[in-house]
Chain A
Amino acid sequence: MDAMSQLRRQLHEHTAYLRKEGFLDDQFEQLQKLQDENSPDFVVEVVSIFFEDSEKLLNNMARALEQKIVDFKQVDAHVHQFKGSSASIGAMRVKNVCIEFRNYCEAQNVEELFGCRCFRCIQKLQYEYALLKNQLEYLFRVEQQIRAAGG
């Protein structure tokens, strides 16, 4: 198998893997369908915006949870935004953690247990996001290699 076919197979298999493991859902495929000759970098551009937004939101969430008196409405607002952007690119696992997180915030229960749950949620969120970022960056590297090889 030549290098190009190998790369293409890598790309195909990895995308399928990400779909199967639930990292990405149909929405990601919609983004790929929108990409065309006039906007050949559309997916990478959108995902880059997602990375920027996500990092900002995760920082904001962490800071809000560090306050002596936590403003859960504020935390919830950040998670809501994150849920929206992850849904927009098809980041299913991240989106689902956001939904779980919001359920805790909405409960507005100021017990220590609840506070711990929030912290656990944000850790889960950070973990899932880091995983996804890794996966997508790998995907884009393979795509780049294909393009560089004339594909």
Chain B
Amino acid sequence: MGMAAEAQFHVLAVDDSHLDRKLIEMLLKTSSYHVTAVDSGTKALEFLGVHEDEQNQANTPSVFPNDHHQDVDVNLIITDYCMPGMTGYDLLRKIKESKSLKDIPVVIMSSDNIPSRINRCLEEGAEEFFLKPVQLSDVSKLRPHLLKGIAKESQPNIDNIKAMEESHSPDRTRTNYNGLEVA
């Protein structure tokens, strides 16, 4: 059991369009990423371990040092902008407001080329803004953001990523990784 498989980055894709979800999933898999695709911002937050009451509250101050656990390990979130209910922008804001999630890079996708929209997203902390239809060349731009995420973490965590497929780590941000696929 000592074989450390080459760790794959885990990308969470969010899009209400079934067609676009299938597309982005394929683009990401072709680029060797492990993908989970969900159809709404609410489901994305659920998957990330943000529970419903947290979703509705404003940034609650954390009383306990270890209370911001993440249910799964996600290295990047790529989301459509135009979605019913919670837009991609709303999702971006919620992620940046969350203590446990704010360091996860977020990328926005949109079929509309609206400069004010693009600027707003970038100002709110999105790393990239892709115009649809998304191309493989766009997906190749994700790598530096993912690698930056690794570098930010301390050395023990880098080893944890290498052994991602192995036994659970006691680290607080990797409690329940189980690679669930939610379509």
Question: Which residue in A42, A50, A89 is a CB contact (below 8 Å) of B26?
Answer: A42
Given contacts A87-B133, A88-B132, A88-B133, contact A53 B19 (CB under 8 A): yes
Within 8 A of B (CB), among A44-78: 45-46, 49-50, 52-53
In chain A, what residue has the closest Cβ to B23? A88
Residues of A within 8 A of B18 (CB): 49, 52-53
Interface status of B30 (Cβ within 8 A of chain A): yes
Seen from chain B, the residues whose Cβ lies within 8 Å of a Cβ on chain A are 17-20, 22-23, 26-27, 30, 82, 111, 132-133, 135-136
Q: Give, as a whole number of angstroms, the nearest-CB distance from A22 to chain B.
A: 17
Contact A83 B133 (CB under 8 A): no
Interface size on A, residues (CB 8 A): 23
The complex places the Cα of A81 from the Cα of B26 at a distance, in Å, of 20
Q: Give, as a whole number of angstroms, the nearest-CB distance from B157 to chain A.
A: 31
Interface status of A134 (Cβ within 8 A of chain B): no
The complex places the Cα of A49 from the Cα of B36 at a distance, in Å, of 19
Residues of A within 8 A of B111 (CB): 80, 83-84, 87
Q: Give, as a whole number of angstroms, the nearest-CB distance from A19 to chain B.
A: 16
Interface of A (DSSP majority class): helix
The complex places the Cα of A107 from the Cα of B3 at a distance, in Å, of 63
Contact A34 B27 (CB under 8 A): yes
In chain B, what residue has the closest Cβ to A87? B133
The complex places the Cα of A45 from the Cα of B111 at a distance, in Å, of 22
Task: Give 19 CB contacts A-B under 8 Å.
Answer: A27-B133, A33-B136, A34-B26, A34-B30, A34-B136, A39-B26, A46-B23, A49-B19, A49-B22, A52-B18, A53-B17, A80-B82, A85-B17, A85-B20, A87-B111, A88-B20, A88-B132, A88-B133, A90-B133
The complex places the Cα of A87 from the Cα of B136 at a distance, in Å, of 16
The complex places the Cα of A90 from the Cα of B133 at a distance, in Å, of 9
Q: Give, as a whole number of angstroms, the nearest-CB distance from B140 to chain A.
A: 14
Interface status of A30 (Cβ within 8 A of chain B): yes
Residues of B within 8 A of A89 (CB): 19
The complex places the Cα of A11 from the Cα of B136 at a distance, in Å, of 25
Q: Give, as a whole number of angstroms, the nearest-CB distance from B95 to chain A.
A: 23
Contact B19 A46 (CB under 8 A): yes
In chain B, what residue has the closest Cβ to A34? B26
Nearest 3 interchain pairs by C-beta: A84-B111, A49-B19, A88-B133
Contact A84 B22 (CB under 8 A): no
Residues of A within 8 A of B133 (CB): 27, 30, 87-88, 90
Q: A30-B135, A46-B22, A49-B22 are in contact. List 6 more A-B contacts (CB 8 A).
A: A34-B136, A50-B19, A53-B17, A80-B82, A81-B17, A88-B17
In chain A, what residue has the closest Cβ to B80? A84
The complex places the Cα of A45 from the Cα of B18 at a distance, in Å, of 11
Q: Give, as a whole number of angstroms, the nearest-CB distance from A29 to chain B.
A: 11
Q: A23-39 CB contact bits vs B (8 Å, 1 = yes)?
A: 00001001101101001
Q: Give, as a whole number of angstroms, the nearest-CB distance from A102 to chain B.
A: 11
Contact B30 A85 (CB under 8 A): no
Contact B135 A84 (CB under 8 A): no
The complex places the Cα of A63 from the Cα of B22 at a distance, in Å, of 28
The complex places the Cα of A81 from the Cα of B17 at a distance, in Å, of 8
